[in-house]
């Protein structure tokens, strides 16, 4: 599918990547509830401004930021700022690395989430921060008013407080923090294009590692995890449990205002659309489900084997920027074979998972 006019087809260095997809905000903007519609429209306006800003920056993969000579390589370097309900970034410093907790719970959740993401990538994959070279982790909270999204802008994290009617504070869900920072990992590695199947893979990588950040932080096995993305973000009264489900794509919500979760779990139900950059948040359900199937088939800690295979594919330099699902499937089978051996449980689980979702892997 060819990117529509105005879309660079590039990765998140130049394309705005928010956790809440635009098709969902578009629906909320048409709500009969004036407060919900106004908050969604305000979020869409802010997202459009950020999208324009990203397109004015580089469209190539980012260059790692050199680590300061005296910086410890096994510790994060976090700073959380407060935008004070403006759109000015980064805002006023609210908490720095090693400082005492702030009085603001939102600041502290952001700080903890940055650390949880650093910990997963460092402990499981030996990666020193998002760029692999100790990139400082910056975040801004209390962005705009009633802002219903969170995003990675190529340099830092940004969190809205939600409108309180549909979405709550976006720092509540640690997997949302992990998801957005994982866009940074993709930015510095495979730099997957943000349209169609490569864009859905881009989103899926963030869901995969966002979920692993949560599982690692909670000490959960694959069998114990809920495999939900954004659990806790939906306000009371909304008929849903999260933004997405990796276990059962298409079941995260079914609400009169939000609508029905449109994610497919198999290629037979792939959604062809020009919206949402070719359905990047929608069709990500297919590779998401494949990862869930691998992780639960292998059991134990998902970051150790399933996550290792996915990380290898993302970071080894063989994944093209325009890779489609079948390309990733083929590389994941090869990665499983190379790391764990041919004919082993890992190899068989990967092959079976991609077959189940209808993607050829060999």
Per-residue pLDDT of the chain (362 residues; tens, 9 = 90+): 444 333 334 445 456 788 999 999 999 999 999 999 999 999 999 988 887 765 555 434 444 445 455 555 689 999 999 999 999 999 999 999 999 999 999 999 999 999 999 999 999 999 999 999 999 999 999 999 999 999 998 889 999 999 999 999 999 999 999 999 999 999 999 999 999 999 999 999 999 999 999 999 999 999 999 999 999 999 999 999 999 999 999 999 999 999 999 999 999 999 999 889 999 999 999 999 999 999 999 999 999 999 999 999 999 999 999 999 999 999 999 999 999 998 899 999 999 999 999 999 87
pLDDT at 51: 73
Q: How far is CA 195 from the centre of its chain?
A: 15
pLDDT at 59: 39
Contact, 294 vs 349, CB < 8 A? yes
Contact, 352 vs 318, CB < 8 A? no
Fold of 17-65+74-188: Elastase; domain 1 (3.10.170)
pLDDT at 311: 98
pLDDT at 54: 59
- The CATH architecture assigned to 196-356 reads Orthogonal Bundle (1.10)
Q: What are the residues facing 159 on neighbouring strands? A: 150
Pairing of strands 157-159, 137-141: parallel
Provide DSSP, 36-74. HHHHHHHHHHHHHHHHHHHHTS--SPPPPPPPPTTS-TT
Q: Cα dist. 207→19, 53, 164, 324 in Å?
A: 10, 24, 24, 17
3-class DSSP state for residue 19? coil
The DSSP letter of residue 92 is E
CA atoms within 13 A on the CB side of 256: 4
pLDDT at 72: 57
pLDDT at 260: 96
Integer Cα distance of 267 and 324 in angstroms: 12
Q: Provide the residue ranges of all domains of the chain, joining segments of one domain with +.
A: 17-65+74-188, 196-356
3-class DSSP state for residue 336? helix
Taking residue 317's Cβ as centre, other Cβ atoms within 10 Å add up to: 8
- Counting every residue written for the chain, the total comes to 362
pLDDT at 355: 98
Token reading at 51: 């999208």
Token reading at 183: 């866009």
Integer Cα distance of 278 and 195 in angstroms: 6
pTM of the predicted model as reported, rounded to 2 decimal places: 0.92
Give the burial string for 211-249 (b: 16+ CB within 10 Å, else e).
bbbbbbbeebebeebbbbbbbebbeeebebbbbbbbbbb
Which residues lie below 8 Å from residue 355, measured CB to CB, with a gap of 6+?
361
Contact, 55 vs 181, CB < 8 A? no
Integer Cα distance of 20 and 11 in angstroms: 17
Q: Known catalytic residues?
A: 180, 281
The DSSP letter of residue 240 is B
pLDDT at 48: 87
């Amino acid at each position: 599918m060819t990117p529509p006019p105005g879309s660079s087809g590039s990765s998140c260095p130049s394309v705005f990547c928010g956790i809440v997809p635009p098709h969902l905000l578009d629906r909320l903007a048409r709500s009969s509830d004036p407060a919900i519609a106004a908050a969604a429209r305000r979020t869409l306006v802010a997202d459009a401004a950020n999208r324009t800003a990203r397109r004015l920056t580089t469209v190539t993969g980012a260059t790692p930021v050199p680590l300061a000579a005296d910086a410890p390589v096994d510790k994060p370097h976090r700073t959380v700022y407060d935008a004070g309900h403006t759109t000015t970034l980064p805002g006023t410093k609210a908490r720095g690395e090693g400082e005492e907790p702030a009085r603001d719970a939102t600041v502290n959740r952001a700080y903890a989430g940055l650390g949880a993401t650093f910990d997963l990538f460092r402990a499981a994959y030996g990666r020193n921060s998002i760029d692999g070279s100790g990139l400082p982790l910056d975040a801004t909270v209390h962005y705009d008013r009633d802002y219903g999204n969170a995003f990675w802008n190529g340099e830092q994290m940004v969190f809205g407080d939600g409108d309180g009617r549909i979405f709550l504070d976006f720092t509540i869900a640690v997997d949302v923090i992990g998801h957005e920072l994982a866009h940074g990992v993709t930015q510095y590695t495979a730099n997957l294009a943000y349209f169609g199947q490569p864009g859905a893979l881009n989103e899926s990588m963030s869901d995969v590692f966002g979920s692993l950040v949560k599982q690692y932080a909670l000490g959960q096995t694959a069998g114990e995890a809920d495999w939900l993305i954004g659990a806790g973000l939906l306000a009371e009264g909304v008929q849903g449990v999260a933004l997405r489900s990796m276990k059962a794509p298409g079941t995260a919500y079914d609400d009169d205002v939000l609508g029905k979760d449109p994610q497919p779990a198999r290629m037979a139900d792939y959604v062809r659309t020009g919206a949402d950059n070719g359905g990047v948040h929608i069709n990500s359900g297919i590779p998401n489900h494949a990862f869930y199937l691998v992780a639960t088939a292998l059991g134990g800690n998902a970051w150790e084997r399933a996550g290792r295979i996915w990380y290898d594919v993302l970071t080894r330099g063989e994944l093209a920027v325009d890779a489609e699902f079948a390309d990733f499937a083929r590389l994941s089978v090869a990665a499983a074979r190379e790391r764990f051996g041919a004919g082993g449980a890992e190899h068989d689980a990967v092959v079976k998972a991609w077959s189940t979702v209808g993607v050829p892997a060999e």
